[in-house]
């Protein structure tokens, strides 16, 4: 949920030159300015990416629709949630023909989704109001996330993945130059959100990273080695990327590809951990 202070602050920040905006946002979060010339920490390197990395593939994978096509092109053993409908506006949508459960999303930004269940459809007016609200959000100008700048905005209806009433575990792989070095497990995200951080061998790092850890440490899933292999194939196209999966009906299932985790403003418990996550990312 976007905070009230963010809503007030964002329009002002968007008016500033991006380098100054990033410095202010970084200082507001960490009480220090980022070292952009010689970035060392993970968060500094994400700010560097915002300012200087213009790899067009970053825009492809930041787009929630284009990223599905990118994964399809890899021809990997990954389940990709189906797109039922998509469009710039809602002129051609027939709500009465939609399934009883689905996810209504926008493709160009984070936190732009609504879950529909039990046939409790929104009216077209409410869907359009959400569309306009989502389309007004510009992550490239507020947070400096360049990869979102040139995404052609659309809304779409995505298949609802039924996890039998439970909240699915979310596996996030930090892939550096084609190698997974860290794994983030988010569990209970919509009620009691817990987060465990592991190395590539499923050794718990025993740190709280924005959320408390789940104790005892979850056991390594039997499908983890397969997820790591798939994440590394995808991550081989980047110097760094985060690949997010679910495990749905015995299938590795695509979640999303994250270009700027936490927008480069997520706090590690210590600066040493920020450096540890940054050291594997070699910026040329």
Please determine, for residue 14, whether its predicted confidence score (pLDDT) is greater than 80: no
Dihedral over Cα of 9, 10, 15, 18: its sign: positive
Residue 188 φ/ψ region, left for φ over 0, alpha for ψ in the -120 to 50 degree band, beta for the rest: left
| Contact criterion met (CB below 8 Å) for 179 and 86 | no
Dig out the tokens for 276 from the structure.
């540890």
Tell me: pLDDT of 125 over 50. Answer: yes
SS3 call for 123: coil
246 and 255 Cβ atoms separated by less than 8 Å: yes
Q: Name the band, by pLDDT with cuts 50, 70 and 90, for residue 166.
A: confident
Residues 27-54 have pLDDT tens digits of: 999 999 999 999 999 999 999 999 999 9
Residues, the chain, total? 284
Q: If pLDDT is split at 50, 70 and 90, which confidence band does 8 have?
A: low
Please state the domain extents for the chain: 34-78+167-284, 82-160
Contact of 189 with 170, CB cutoff 8 Å:
yes
34-78+167-284 fold: D-amino Acid Aminotransferase; Chain A, domain 1 (3.30.470)
* 190, pLDDT greater than 60: yes
CA distances from 176 to 35, 122, 133, 260 (A): 20, 41, 35, 13
Q: What is the pTM of this model?
A: 0.93
State CA 74 to chain mean position distance. Answer: 20
Per-residue pLDDT averaged across 218-240, rounded?
A: 98
- Residue 177: which pLDDT band, with cuts at 50, 70 and 90? very high
The residues near 86 (Cβ < 8 Å, ≥ 6 apart) are 65, 107, 154, 155, 156, 157
């Amino acid at each position: 949920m976007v905070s009230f202070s963010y809503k007030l602050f964002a329009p002002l920040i968007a008016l500033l030159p991006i380098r100054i905006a990033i410095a202010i946002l970084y200082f507001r979060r960490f009480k220090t300015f980022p070292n952009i010339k010689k970035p060392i920490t993970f968060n500094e390197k994400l700010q560097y990416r915002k300012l200087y990395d213009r790899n067009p593939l970053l825009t492809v994978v930041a787009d929630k629709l284009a990223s599905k096509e990118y994964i399809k092109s890899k021809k990997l053993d990954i389940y990709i949630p189906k797109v039922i409908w998509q469009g710039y506006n809602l002129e051609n949508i027939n709500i009465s023909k939609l399934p009883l459960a689905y996810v209504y999303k926008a493709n160009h930004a984070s936190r732009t989704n609504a879950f529909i269940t039990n046939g409790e459809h929104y009216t077209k007016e409410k869907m359009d109001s959400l569309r306009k609200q989502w389309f007004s959000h510009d992550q490239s100008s507020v947070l400096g996330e360049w990869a979102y700048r040139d995404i052609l905005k659309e809304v779409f209806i995505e298949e609802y993945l039924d996890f039998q009433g439970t909240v699915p575990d979310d596996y996030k792989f930090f892939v550096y130059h084609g190698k997974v070095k860290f794994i983030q497990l988010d569990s209970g995200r919509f009620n009691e959100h817990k987060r465990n951080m592991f190395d590539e061998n499923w050794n718990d790092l025993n740190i709280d990273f924005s959320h408390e850890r789940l104790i005892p440490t979850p056991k390594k899933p039997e499908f983890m080695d397969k997820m790591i292999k798939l994440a590394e194939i995808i991550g081989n196209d980047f110097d760094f990327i985060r690949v997010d999966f679910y495990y749905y009906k015995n299938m590795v299932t695509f979640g999303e590809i994250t270009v700027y985790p936490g927008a480069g403003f997520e706090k590690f418990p210590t600066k040493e951990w920020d450096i540890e996550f940054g050291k594997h990312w070699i910026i040329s």
